[in-house]
Amino acid sequence: MVSTIHPQDLRHRLKTKQYNRDDCIAAIKGQRIPGALGLPLLRLCTIRGIRFNDGFAIELGGILPCFTRALNAREIMSNRIPAIASDEETPYCIWHPEVASESTYRQLVATYPQMSYQVGRACAVAGYFDLFKELDIVPEVHIAEEARECGSLAIFNHIMAQPTRYEVMNDYTRTINSSSVNLPGAHLNGDTAVESSLNTRQEFSPADVPEIIDGEELPSLLDDPGYRENVFDITEDMNIDVVNQDPLTESRGHDVRHSELLVRLLTEPLPTELPTTDKDLLLLMAAYYGDIDRYTRLRRPSMIPGEYECCVRGVYHNTMFAVWWSKQALPEGRAGWKLSQAICARFIMNNVLSKVTNDETDMPYLIWYPTIAVESTYRKLAEMSPVMLPQILRACIVADYVELFEKLAAKAIPDEAVMEEAARSTNPHFHSVLASRVGEVGQTELQSSERWKMKTSDRLLERSEKYVWKTMAWANPQTFGDALQYNGTTCTAGDVELMACLPDEWRIAEDGKTEPEPLDYVNWPPEEKRP
């Protein structure tokens, strides 16, 4: 195909940031190159179109490395050997949406020996055992996981029969680390974007275009890119499409079988070689309970949705997890801020004030749950960080530290939340003291963003859940909303804990309905299965 678009025009398109729905659809279908390629969404749609449509957008070769890699991958899957000029142009995934012939992969590795691990992975997908045995590669865990998932048992068994295994491929960064061949001892750990997961599709949405003022682009953290960042992106297209689809979860019986596996993995020691599963729930629950061993094994390079909230909960309830986190580099943004507050709170409740400053935004609010510090700790804390006086007063109310409360209340301008806590106390003295103080100096009103502080300590008790889900995978920890737990962060896992306790005969059957059943001993469990 002869290019009809001048390279200069293509480079101009790379700088142009415009959202056009029709262009997105046309690119995904391999019909035309978008008129503007400056937004990441439009590039993803174009890469998607290249991978699925042989001959599409060949004009983009050499214009941008991500396009060149996609074109080279498409060439290979179409049984042609591309001219790859550098590592930057070397594709990572060369087996989706199609596998090439065995002879093509054999010729590819002869031409580019540095691609032997990609070829080995393709062999695992396609079942090319003879070619796999010819490759000069170490037993690699991603290839093993891929082979197990794709049913290439000859390759899987061959790798697992070796005395040790290695982690050379990295599906998070799409890199091959050749130096890892000197680091044996790797295990199957659910860090592989197996081929079946690549069939999941996410529907794109309108992308926000950064505002330009005086010729300067002003991106915002609130800008919607038009797609969700996947944990893995080995095809470099984020599985972008015109519809949402998850073939695996739509297959009959998958939910129940997957649920059985998750329950086993949640309630038993993790096996050395993790079976094929979406380990996100395992990761979240390890964080929720503050299980250092499980969490450090299961965590991914960057946090997944709900992870920092579970970590905050784990830090509050597990001192050792808090100490471990205090020695780690915290993530950026809100996650790191909330974790820092939780660590400080856990240390305070253990009577250690080494993390305390007088910066109000950095200090935690909840410093009396699940543990109450000794009175002298709160007294010293008030000296070190006067901005924390409101929460120290609340801690005194909950702990019934009357003497310290009276001393601090004489210096405070009470706010609504402290007044509400005192009103709920079984000791009327606290409210009486504060009411007198309000009569002298008035009362501070909370900002709208602080209304979560109005929830009193009697609401801190964790409540169980009653809904039985068809699959454990749907019973994720709930992290939406705000609450006094934990400094405005919500995290509950009652659904997961209920599902873990259920007898097998109380679970929803494979052919049962998908809506959750309330465990009320009236409608569920069925009468013949009740105790």
The 10 Å Cβ neighbour count of residue 310 is: 26
Residue-wise pLDDT tens digits, 82-114: 999 999 999 999 999 999 999 999 999 999 999
d(CA 388, CA 443): 16
Q: Structural domain tally of the chain?
A: 2
The whole-number average pLDDT for the span 145-166 is 97
Banded pLDDT at 475 (limits 50, 70, 90): confident
pLDDT score for 259: 82
| Residue 505, domain member (yes or no) | no
| Residue 477, domain member (yes or no) | no
The 10 Å Cβ neighbour count of residue 323 is: 16
Residue 1 has pLDDT above 50, yes or no: no
Asked whether 240 and 54 are in contact (CB, 8 A), the reply is no
Residue-wise pLDDT tens digits, 199-213: 999 999 999 998 877
DSSP per-residue codes, 344-401:
HHHHHHTT--TT--S-TTTS-S--SSS-PPPHHHHHHHHHH-GGGHHHHHHHHHHHT-
Question: Could you say which of 165, 192, 219 is where a domain stops?
Answer: 192
d(CA 45, CA 68): 14
| Residue 388, domain member (yes or no) | yes
Q: What are phi and psi of 3, to 5 degrees?
A: -65, 135
| Residue 424, domain member (yes or no) | yes
**Cis bond leading into 370, ω under 30°?**
yes
pLDDT score for 178: 85
Residue 292 has pLDDT above 50, yes or no: yes
| Residue 426, domain member (yes or no) | yes
Give pTM, 2 decimals: 0.92
Our CA angle for 276, 279, 282, nearest 5°, is: 130
Q: Work out the mean pLDDT of the chain and round it to a whole number.
A: 93
pLDDT score for 201: 96
- Which tokens go with 430? 């606290």
Residue-wise pLDDT tens digits, 253-268: 556 667 889 999 999 9
The whole-number average pLDDT for the span 145-162 is 98
- Which tokens go with 514? 């998908």
pLDDT score for 2: 45
| Residue 444, domain member (yes or no) | yes
pLDDT score for 219: 72
Residue-wise pLDDT tens digits, 420-438: 999 999 999 999 999 999 9
pLDDT score for 458: 86
| Residue 413, domain member (yes or no) | yes
Residue 251 has pLDDT above 60, yes or no: no
Question: Could you say which of 146, 173, 192 is where a domain stops?
Answer: 192
Q: 413 is in which domain, residue-wise?
A: 374-459
| Residue 385, domain member (yes or no) | yes
Residue-wise pLDDT tens digits, 377-413: 999 999 999 999 999 999 999 999 999 999 999 999 9
Question: Could you say which of 404, 427, 459 is where a domain stops?
Answer: 459
List Cα–Cα distances, 340 to 169, 271, 482, in angstroms: 33, 32, 18
Percent of the chain whose pLDDT exceeds 70: 97
pLDDT score for 256: 64
Residue-wise pLDDT tens digits, 116-136: 999 999 999 999 999 999 998
